[in-house]
Amino acid sequence: MTSRRTPAAPEEPPSNEPPPGSIADVYREVMPLVGFEAEMTKGDDVALTIPADSIHEVIERGREDQRLQMNLLRNQTAVDWEERGLEIVYHLYSIPLRQAVTIKSWLPSEGAIVESITDIYEMANWAERECREMFGIEFIGHPDPRNLLLDEDIDIHPLRKSHPLAPIEMEQGVDVEFFTKQHPPPEPAEEEEAAPDAAAAAAPERKRVEDMTEEEREERRAEQAERVARARELAAVRRAERLAGAPPAGGPRPEGAAPPPPPAAAPAAAPAAKAAPASAPAQDDRPPAPPPPELPSIPDAEEDPEGRAAAQAERVRLGRELAAARRAQLRGD
């Protein structure tokens, strides 16, 4: 004897209504005279649809009421639903209470007018300008209703569904067809011939350290020591010039010009245990930098303000003299 299974009851579609005690009930308590249509969004937020003439009141009360505290306008936008009209959307958030709500309202496609909320949220300034420019919604009381992207005399609203998807009427950028005719791409054979040359040009010219002989490594170390010595000498000259407030060595550098190469200096001395390599670079004939002068100590400002000013002036004078002397040595004067 076979038993019959009782067929399962059909599942009811999930309700789109917010659960009891949600933020929708708080809005209804705060503003009982406003007709709210509440629903849950896909992001589990509560969305309230209200009449267009109640937008400013609902958003203002939502920010001021202590049970809501919607102190952040996260986003403001609009949607064109063609026959149904335009839907303006405000995404609000309460930082203290960590709760969100979406305020929506329907507007006619022609003559869409709504009150500005720039007096409630400063962030709404550019958001309302974008909605006006892209959807044609006029915001009463907006302080600066200018376009953000388009010219003022272009009476179009690109984000409306009625805006035609046509090719660009004005020529912009580069004429690709004309440029291709004037500069045809290389033939496949030319590309194959040019590939080895490009690979050879891109190959590194210097050997790796692992592939060098001991003499080549010593030569590499000497070159690196010479570059370090030149960089240090140039840095010392620049520091002296900044201390003295003098122009850079060699006169002011033109705008956009590359910095001058660092002055040559003798390479660092090799260790006594090793002999100098035969291929080491020649030493520079320029005189070494003069030793820095002894700078006067600066007294305390409260005990001797005049002596402090005199010591600072003396330091500046000595720095300028040192920089001028070093520039003359580097130029060979």
Spatial contact of 124 and 118, defined as CB atoms under 8 Å apart:
yes
Amino acid at 184: P
Distance CA 324, CA 319 (A): 9
In whole angstroms, what is the distance from residue 159 CA to residue 149 CA?
Answer: 13
- The C-alpha R_g of the chain, in whole angstroms, comes to 39
**Single-letter code of the amino acid located at 58:** V
Whose CA is closest to 267, among 232, 302, 306, 298?
A: 232
Average pLDDT, the chain: 77
pTM: 0.48
Cα separation of 140 and 143, whole Å? Answer: 9
* Summary count for the chain: helices (H), strands (E): 7, 7
Q: Give per-residue pLDDT as tens, 272-316.
A: 444 444 444 445 565 666 666 676 677 776 678 788 778 777 877
**Whether pLDDT at 102 is above 50:** yes
pLDDT mean over 80-84: 92
Across residues 248-277, what is the average pLDDT? 50
The predicted pLDDT at position 315 comes to 78
Structure confidence at residue 42 as a pLDDT band (50, 70, 90):
confident
Domain coordinates in residue numbering, the chain: 23-140, 212-251+260-331
Categorise residue 205: left if φ over 0, alpha if ψ from -120 to 50, beta otherwise. alpha
Q: Where are the alpha helices (DSSP H) in the chain?
A: 23-30, 55-64, 124-135, 176-182, 188-202, 214-244, 305-331
On whether the 23-140 domain is CATH 1.10.1060.10, my answer is no
pLDDT(154) > 90: no
Q: Which pLDDT belongs to residue 321?
A: 80
End-to-end CA distance of the chain: 121
pLDDT at residue 205 tops 70: no
